[in-house]
Amino acid sequence: MQAAVTMPFVVPCAPELPRATWTSYGLTTLLVLPLAARRRAALTVLVAVLAAGGLYKFAADGPGRPLPYTGLMPFHTVAELSSPPERIAGALVTAVAVPVSTGLDSIDLREPLSSLFVFAAAGSP
């Protein structure tokens, strides 16, 4: 999973983007590690992954956003295995985190809306 998340760091990217740093790789590892517990504590893992993604966004000077697989996996697990109140909590947390994360990169609404669509599809049983 780590390789998939950090793929944008190693493929050729635009010269104006900063290079990946050890901090970038370390913070993306925080996105991946909680996934080991996603079946036992799906909502907690979702919140941890979203928090680590926010930390990456605001603390790392990396070459862009990592791929969103680490958020999609626990979101789907919450939808599949959790109680209705936990599903609602997971949907609300994600409905706030995803647009804030993607919306800060651009004023274009297409990216936040398409990201919400992808997460909604991942949450469908």
- Average pLDDT over every residue of 30-37: 92
pTM of the predicted model, to two decimals? 0.81
pLDDT, tens digit (0-9, with 9 covering 90-100), for 58-89: 777 666 667 677 888 898 999 999 999 999 99
SS3 annotation, the chain: CHHHHCHHHHCCCCCCCCCCCHHHHHHHHHHHHHHHHCCCCHHHHHHHHHHHHHHHHHHCCCCCCCCCHHHHHHHHHHHHHCCHHHHHHHHHHHHHHHHHHHHCCCCCCHHHHHHHHHHHHHCCC
> What mean pLDDT value characterizes the chain?
82
Give the confidence band of 103 by pLDDT, cuts at 50, 70, 90: low
